[in-house]
Every structure is written in C-alpha cells, then in structure tokens.
Structure 1
C-alpha cells in the first residue's frame, strides 16, 4: 500500500488488486504496529534511540544471517518514510509508550518502548463507499 501510494503521489497510475474476498489481506489481521528504530515520534515520549543501538539490537537477533548493510539502510530510511507518510498521506503516527522491543534484554534492546509506532484510529467512512 505504501509503495502504491508513493507511486500514485509521483504521478503513476496505480491499481491495487486484492486476492482475498475481504480487503486488507494479512494487514486486516495485524495489530497495525510498525517497528521503526530512530523514528521521528520517539522524541515526543522522551525516547533517545541512536541508530547504532537499533542496529546492535537487530544484529543480536539475526545470528549473522542478515546483511548488515540492509539493516543500516532500513534504520537510515525508516524515519524518512514515516515522515513522508505523515506529511503526504495524512497518517497520524505516534510512538507507543511502554511497548518494549520483543526481546528487550538483547544488546541494543529498548525495554521502555518507542520503536513501535501506530496510527490513530479513524472512521472507515473516510475511505468512501
């Protein structure tokens, strides 16, 4: 959905097709959370999250099976993506206080929360008929 929105916002003609008989696919069942280290909403809840801390956390969980450069890119660009959606798509993300990383005891883990963001609830009527 984010890729489709971004493409449309940049002038592309976009068609979203849903395979399921219900809109949303697996997203319809998710909790709606997004895990983004160093996100722009952490400051509002007093969280300081240096990029190296998020990197250390992910790498400690990966057991060496993930490309560190991909994680560095995710951390470096995740915050920008959140800001873009907030500004261009009208999302209203906020950092979830006290929603700890799944393994806060791992190196770089954040036990007090802040890396998980979610959107404020909205009326489905806003989506149209």
Structure 2
C-alpha cells in the first residue's frame, strides 16, 4: 500500500469506506482498472467480520469447477436458488450473480494474490432441494503464510478470533480439519499433522506474538491486503467516514472523515463505495 500524506484535503478517483472483504475487493478491482484508490477504515485493523469468518464464498460455475471437470448449466443452479429462496427469488439479480461470480473469481484468482481452493466436497446447505450441488460450487482462500506480507500489512490484519481457534490458530475446513478429527481417532498421520501445525503456531507466537499460518477469513483478508498493496491502494485505519459530501446537484463527490490528526475531506472523482 502506498504511503499517504497528512493533508486534510485529499483527492482520489475512488474512495472506499470499510476494509472488509467487500471494500478491499472493490478497491483492488478499481485500482487494477487504473484508478487511484483510498480505503477508509474506522478500526485500527482491517478485515471486519470477514477476518473472523470461515472465508468461504458460494460461487458456482467458476474456472475452479471447470478445472475439476464440473460444468453445470446456469439453469440447474437457477433452479436450486429458486427452490432455496422461495418468494425472495429475483430472477434478474440471480442472472446477474451467475454471470458475474465466475468472472470475479477468475479475475482475483488469475490477476491478484487472492488465489482460491475449490470446495470439491462441500455440499450445498439445502441438500434436499432440487438441483442441490454436491461439490465445486464453493471456494475458499488458499492458506497464506503471513511472512509473505510486509510488516505494515501484517499490522493492518485483524487476528484470528481467539474463541473460535486454538490459542489463536485457525483450522481450515477440509483436509486440515479432517486431519485434526483423524488425530482424535488415533490416526498417526493425523497426529503428525496436528503436531506440525501446532508446533509452527507456537513458534510464531514466540517470535511474532501472533499466528502467521493464515486460513479461512484471515487468509482472505491477508490476500486482499497483499493484492491492495500490489495495486497501489492507499489505506487509512482509525479514520471513520462521517458523511458523504455532495455538490449542488446532489451528486456524491467525496467523503468527510475523522482521522487521528483531525477532520479529513476526500474528493472522489469517480465515486464512493460504501
């Protein structure tokens, strides 16, 4: 991420409010299209609720599914969503989602640091409904060793939620979790995996005071932060947006915010993403 100055009046092409997965993804996409981007985050770290989540996304018909030999029709997925959503089904929005989701996954997977692993064995939640999937409709961020991140990016990354981890160590759904469950049943391979994972985590705690083997939501945010840094996105933490600024025609032209140094006014030449 590029350094930012201390001026109280700034100008960017795009201003993004919030540094969760949605905000960071929007910032990275805008920067890849040539925009100068600023992200404003109210907290002292980035990630929001995303960093404490499983980090999975439901995105059918992606290149990951195609590489696994699964090529579904949009009609099958639409039929499942129609059954799952009932009265909330919106055909136009669902069609837009099914068109856009594969493009989104391909963009991040092939052009940024955010790579995914396929949920080849992750069934759809409503498995009893018509056309429910039995795998390859979900994807998760590829685990990330935080040593690959710059020091500033590591400082910006929200840590794993302690209450849903082992001493702050996340466990990824899939083979990682399967190995821990196998260890509980006495599997020697599972026990070795657990010793390896926990041992690395304890070393990280001693040397860096936090776990560096990122999985789930922390891996998603970590990879997005690295992608943002690669794309030249500016990020300001401890800087909550307080109001949208408009011109005389009512068009949003910027954001008012409060930084640690005082009030801040940011002009957004092309738009504000909330």
Q: Is 2:150 the counterpart of 1:128? A: yes
> Rg larger in 1 or in 2?
2
Map of 1:58 onto structure 2 = 81
Question: How do residues 53-92 of structure 1 correspond to structure 2 at under 5 angstroms?
Answer: 53-92=76-115
- Looking at structure 2, the residues matched to 80 and 53 of structure 1 have their Cα atoms a distance apart, in angstroms, of 19
Count of residues in correspondence between the two structures: 128
Q: Is the 8 A contact 2:81 2:89 kept in 1?
A: no
The structure whose residues are more often strand, as a share, is 2
Distance 2:120 2:139 in 1: 9
Q: Does 1 or 2 have the higher relative contact order (CA < 8 Å, sep 6+)?
A: 2
- Tell me which residue corresponds to 1:40: 63
8 Å CA contact 1:99–1:113 kept in 2: the answer is yes
1:31 aligns with 2:66: no
How much has 1:64 moved relative to structure 2? Answer: 2.1
Contact kept, 8 Å, 1:18 with 1:24, in 2: the verdict is no
RMSD over equivalenced CA pairs, Å: 1.5
Following superposition, the deviation at residue 61 of structure 1 comes to 1.3
Q: Do residues 22 (structure 1) and 45 (structure 2) align?
A: yes
After TM superposition, the score normalised by the length of structure 2 is: 0.44
Say whether residues 1:104 and 2:127 are aligned partners: yes
Is 1:5 the counterpart of 2:54? The answer is no
1 CA distance for matches of 2:74 and 2:99?
Answer: 8
Match of residue 114, structure 1, among 110, 131, 136: 136
**Structure 2 segments unaligned to the other structure (5+ residues):** 1-23, 152-274
- Counterparts of 1:105 and 1:39 in 2: how far apart (Å)? 23
